[in-house]
A and B are shown apart, each in its own frame.
Chain A
Amino acid sequence: MELKSTNQEEWSLIIRPQRAWWDLRLGDLWRYRDLVWLFVWRDFVSTYKQTVLGPLWHIVQPIATTVVFTVIFGNIARLSTDGLPPFLFYMTGNTVWSYFSACLMSTSDTFRGNAGIFGKVYFPRLITPISIVISNLLSFGIQFLIFAGFLIYFKLSGSLVYPNSWMLFLPALLVIMAGMGLGLGIIISSLTTKYRDLQKLVGFGVQLLMYGTPVIYPLSSVDEQWRWLILANPMTPVVEFFRMAFLGTSSLSPLYLFYSLGFVFVVALFGILIFNRVEITFMDTV
């Protein structure tokens, strides 16, 4: 113990059985920042190289989903869209939701999906989910451009939609969604090192959560009695805010976004703590 106190500064690395929970090694994360971009680049290239349908898929998927939503929920079930053109209404919901769910789904497989690399070399494991969240921005970007195209078309053809300056907050929305997806994803990922079947629940859970978020219906159409439940969902303000910024209609005060932000802070912090705890020995159990 004596030795430790006198020599501590000399050692650049101490490998110990368990790190203190506050020892997040954020310095390491910064040192490996180049790796984040290289992973993003790798994801980008591997998705788009040699696949003609790669980029096309990102165009077809949101349009097809939106058409299906429009037909089923708009024309058959006749759900309210707050007086907005159903096509644009569903497209906003879908654009926001796909980014969040993609972040959540792909980060929730961090440990098991990368066991091959993680078993051979050390780098801060958090690099992987961070790069995934950034990679997903690309398909969000494509979807968003498609949405913007349709928005302009609808606006020019006289629909009652009012894009406004709230849209400058889009980056903040993205940070909230990425943080929420990442935080929940790495919590699940940490749990799945012990329980593999949780991974299967994720896909199902995300789908259920979508119905608990005003993606295919506006918040205003929810009964007063149940509204608190939908409002408790931290994704609700995000979807509603996005609609308000680009279509100009929402029944929710933008201040609710602070609730989402607070949630992100808690879930990301908790996620990073548990991830940090699991990362040092997960190779023994995975």
Chain B
Amino acid sequence: MSNTVISVENISKSYRLGVIGTGTFFGDLNRWWARKLGKPDPYAKIGEVDHGNRYGESILALNNVDFKVKQGEALGIIGRNGAGKSTLLKIFSQVTAPTSGLVRVKGRISSLLEVGTGFHPELTGRENIYLNGAILGMSRAEVKRKFDEIVDFSGVEKFIDTPVKRYSSGMYVRLAFSVAAHLEPDILVVDEVLAVGDIEFQNKCLGKMGEVAEGGRTVIFVSHNMGAISRFCSRVILLQSGEVFKDGSTQDVIDAYHENLQHRSQMVDGNRLVDSPMGFVRWSVGNKSNNSLYRTYSLNPLELSFRLTVTEPINQAHFGIAIYLTDGQLIWAMKSTDIYKEYLDFQPGNYEMSFNLPSLPLREGNYWLKISANSRLKQFDVWDVEPALEIISKTESILPGKWQGVVNMPCEIKIAPVGEE
């Protein structure tokens, strides 16, 4: 009991849906006046029933979340989009307050939801280090003490007196992360978006976080990246629809997460409830050569299958698909119109849609898929497909990590002796 450093006690957070006030003083006044005269609400949407006394519905982004974190623990928080991860992060970082419940914290807590918050383009790298450090809660003396270390880690010492607006986006992110990485709170709450930049720097960032965790400090890491989660975290909490779905050892919870993801039960995208006439419900690797639904061998033929649900007749639909590296780097993307040359019409019903690739020339690892359904005028659904596509290799590569690359291409080598010329 004595070494509990964070105690989350029955936290709930509700957000009201829709527009409650009209957002302007005169709008509210106008509505009040109309109601007073018994006229219909001038701001009601067409086709919406006017209840007269409208209190917006609310959704519970977090519902009675309750857990404790011990000193030195590295806790992972996972869950699909809209499960409440970001809301929980916002509460930890005091950006917003819970609707009910308490969070008690022992020691200094720092949350990183973003790197480079408050960076000003006109200021030099040096000035921004001080500014950003102070925004994150470091004192001037503290930044001064760590200044050389920060610059060193970022690798931009040559440009430290150049305004950051002249930096490349990579340099910018590196500098920003370096400041964040040198915070020394007792408890660090990190969002996965932090691991940014090129792969080398990303690994450096993850390494730095590992160091923090091993140094006996408490880390809460929110992520989609199961690889990183299993690398750092000894315990994981799986959130689902705002509730703690599972809390336990890393492997158990990650397994539960994958099981949980097989059906995209509700179409939830971020905090937005998609009430769309067309959307994707689940996906799988259609290739039946192995028993896992989301896994395939490098260079094998691949069929990506998506279950599409249509509830209203849709005209002129088209689709897009994309494959990303886990750092967000796009590898490949395609539109259905590239192949069909025309738009497609749909009647209500369920459809199985598959993309067939003769071979997938990618190295082993996890890849993100994104798929979208659109009409010419509207986007119906964009799904950052979960779980990620996993590619495994039949042959063990003996190349060292930095020579792994992304693409796996079949290749033959011929060597033949050449006579005198």
Contact = CB atoms under 8 A, between A and B. Distances in A.
Interface of A: 10-18, 31-32, 34-35, 38-39, 41-42, 45-46, 49-50, 117-123, 194-198, 280-281, 283-284
Interface residues of B, number: 46
A74 to B, nearest CB: 38
29 contacts: A11-B104, A15-B94, A15-B97, A15-B98, A15-B103, A16-B97, A16-B98, A17-B100, A18-B97, A31-B139, A32-B134, A32-B137, A41-B127, A42-B123, A46-B120, A46-B122, A46-B123, A117-B117, A117-B135, A120-B117, A121-B117, A122-B111, A123-B135, A195-B21, A197-B26, A280-B96, A283-B90, A283-B95, A284-B15
Interface in B144-159: none
Contacts of B280: none
A198 B135 contact: no
Contacts, number: 112
B268 interface: no
Interface of B: 15, 21, 23-28, 90-109, 111, 113-114, 117-118, 120, 122-123, 127, 130-131, 134-137, 139-140, 163
Contacts of B100: 17
Contacts of B123: 42, 45-46
5 tightest CB-CB pairs across the interface, nearest first?
A195-B25, A122-B94, A15-B103, A197-B24, A13-B105
A142 to B, nearest CB: 20
A17 B98 contact: yes
Contacts of B101: 17
A117 B127 CA distance: 17
A121 B106 CA distance: 19
Given A18-B97, A197-B24, A10 B106 contact: yes
A120 B114 contact: yes
Nearest to B112: A121
A10 B71 CA distance: 14
Contact of B96 (A49, A50, A196, A284): A284
B103 A14 contact: yes
A188 to B, nearest CB: 12
Given A13-B104, A13-B105, A50-B122, 17 more contacts: A15-B94, A15-B98, A31-B139, A38-B134, A41-B131, A42-B127, A45-B122, A46-B123, A49-B122, A120-B93, A120-B114, A121-B113, A194-B21, A195-B23, A197-B26, A280-B94, A283-B90
